[in-house]
Amino acid sequence: MSRSKVEKALPGDRIAISEEFLPGEHTYESGGLIRAMAVGGVNRDMKSMEISVKPSAEVSTIMVDDWVTGQIEVAQSNSAGVKVYYVNGGRMDKDFAGTLSLRGFGGGRGVRRGPPVKLGDIVRCRVFSLVNGIIHLAIDEDDMGVVHALCGNCGRPLTRGGRDRAKCDECGNVEDRKLAADFGTTPIRP
């Protein structure tokens, strides 16, 4: 098997004609052509004459229900801008930014709380809509929310102090956040 360089395929890409190869994993056959079903590297098995796609950790597209990990680069009261670094745990190769809706957090229910996210926080979010070409993100699920944050007082990493409360072991500072279930554990799961 030649391993000169990995040929990349996007979903729908024509990777072979049916006479040359048999459709393998993550491919489909249509009208005499074999096409890729996933983003990934094309693999040709010359023994079985099968062509398949090995889904790549690198993703080039974002879809509804994907989860992303990124950093808060703009924080407002109702929304925050998130620079996306990982999609479904795979490193993002493009420059994407999403908008995290913060409605329903902070205020209401009579409990006074600080903002659910702050500038510089690393957050894991669910993509819930792509309307108007904007990546709309949410953090309501248990697994979603802040996964890493620094103390606003002294800059040390915060640890979990409660369900939605982070604390600084260094200076005793306590900050409210919408924390992901695994907040404070290392290594950070992207």
Q: Where are the beta strands (DSSP E) in 18-132?
A: 22-23, 27-30, 33-36, 40-45, 50-55, 67-75, 79-87, 90-101, 122-129
Q: Which is nearer to Zn ion, 88 or 153 (CB)?
A: 153
Nearer to Zn ion, 144 or 168 (CB): 168
The binding site for Zn ion (CB under 5 A) comprises: 151, 153-154, 168, 170-171, 173
Instruction: Tally DSSP H helices, then E strands, for the chain.
Output: 0, 16
Whose Cβ is closer to Zn ion: residue 98's or residue 161's? 161
CB of 156 vs Zn ion, minimal distance in Å: 5
Contact 147, 141 (CB under 8 A): no
Instruction: Tell me whether residue 25 or residue 170 sits nearer to Zn ion (CB atom).
Output: 170
Q: Compute the chain's Rg from CA coordinates.
A: 21
Which residue has 């992901």 as its token pair? Answer: 180
In the complex, minimum distance from the CB of residue 103 to Zn ion, in angstroms, rounded to a whole number: 29
**Residue 100 CB, nearest distance to Zn ion (Å)?**
24
Distance of alpha carbon 190 from alpha carbon 188, whole angstroms: 6
Compare residues 16 and 117 and give the one whose CB is closer to Zn ion.
117
- Is-contact 45 51, C-beta < 8 A? yes
Query: Which residue has 């890409």 as its token pair?
Result: 13
Q: Closest distance between Zn ion and the C-beta of residue 161, in Å?
A: 12
CB of 45 to Zn ion, least distance (A): 55
